Amino acid sequence: MPRAAQPFTPDQDLEARRNWAGPVIAGVLTSDLVAFCQSGVSIVLAATASDGLPVAGKGLSAIISTEGRVRIYLRECINTPLLAALEAGSGIAATFTEPRTHRSIQMKAKATRKRAVEPADLPEVARQVRHFGDELVDLSYTHRLVEHYCMYADEELVVIEYLPSDAFVQTPGPGAGSQLGS
């Protein structure tokens, strides 16, 4: 199974943030983090249901605006409990992970809005899903598994949008859970 020559560590993101001299959007996002989250990575979503129990969901792709608004594209049919929790007012935690290196970033927000998919965004959604699938195949996952894991139809997509309030490094290792930014 192909692996990163040097596994990613939390210290790399923490050091990059300490040394960052460029603009920061929404108080937490550098251009490096924006590029990472839009590169075609795994997106795992979490919220709290009305009974207080956690619910999880799976995003397909993310597009982040110049103002820092995070738009996550997901299949409505497999994310019904998550969407219900968000519509009931739950906050969200979205974790973006690169499979090859396990580099992981988590962004949180107190509220989200459900939006319609803009047709102009569909090529970017497809690009990110394709990149993620290609990486899984490179890591020796079967084509059949990847096809099922990454499948979607444009008409079943919805978007959740939020402005992140916090970002954390979640890459496994010492320093995981450390806050990035404000």
Domain assignment present for 69: yes
pLDDT at 20: 78
Worst-scoring range by mean pLDDT, 16-20, 65-69, 122-126?
Answer: 16-20
The CATH number given to whatever domain includes residue 47 is 2.30.110.10
Question: Which residues span the domain enclosing 97?
Answer: 10-180
**Residue 144 confidence (pLDDT):** 97
Is residue 5 in a domain? no
Helix (H) or strand (E) holding 130: helix 122-138
Cβ atoms of residues 55 and 47 within 8 Å = yes
What integer is the mean pLDDT of 100-110?
94
User: What domain count does the chain have?
Assistant: 1
Whether residue 91 is contained in a domain is answered as yes
Predicted pLDDT at 168: 93
Residue 64's pLDDT band (cuts 50, 70, 90):
very high
Q: What is the pLDDT of residues 131-151, one digit of tens each?
A: 999 999 999 999 999 999 999
pLDDT digits (tens, 9 = 90+) for 5-19: 567 888 787 887 788
Look at 45-54, 101-110, 144-153, 172-181 and tell me which has the smallest mean pLDDT: 172-181
Residues whose CB is less than 8 angstroms from the CB of residue 180 and which lie 6 or more positions away in sequence, other chains included: 13, 14, 17, 28, 33, 105, 167, 168, 169
Mean pLDDT score, 122-133: 98
Under DSSP, the state recorded for 173 is S
Q: What is the CB-side half-sphere exposure of residue 126 using CA atoms within 13 A?
A: 7
**Is 66 part of any domain?**
yes
Tokens at 133, concatenated: 């699938």
User: From CA 151, how far away is CA 168, in angstroms rounded?
Assistant: 29
Are 107 and 163 in contact by the 8 Å Cβ rule? The answer is: no
For all residues of the chain together, what is the average pLDDT?
Answer: 92
Residue 4 lies in a domain: no
Residue 2 counted as domain residue: no
Whole-angstrom distance, CA of residue 10 vs CA of residue 171: 5
105: three-class secondary structure by DSSP: strand
Question: How high is the pLDDT of residue 36?
Answer: 95
Q: How far is CA 69 from the centre of its chain?
A: 13
Q: Which residue has the higher pLDDT, 22 or 47?
A: 47
Q: How far apart are CA 129 and CA 61, in angstroms?
A: 7
- Tell me if 19 is assigned to some domain: yes
Please give the Cα distance from 148 to 66 (Å, whole number).
Answer: 33
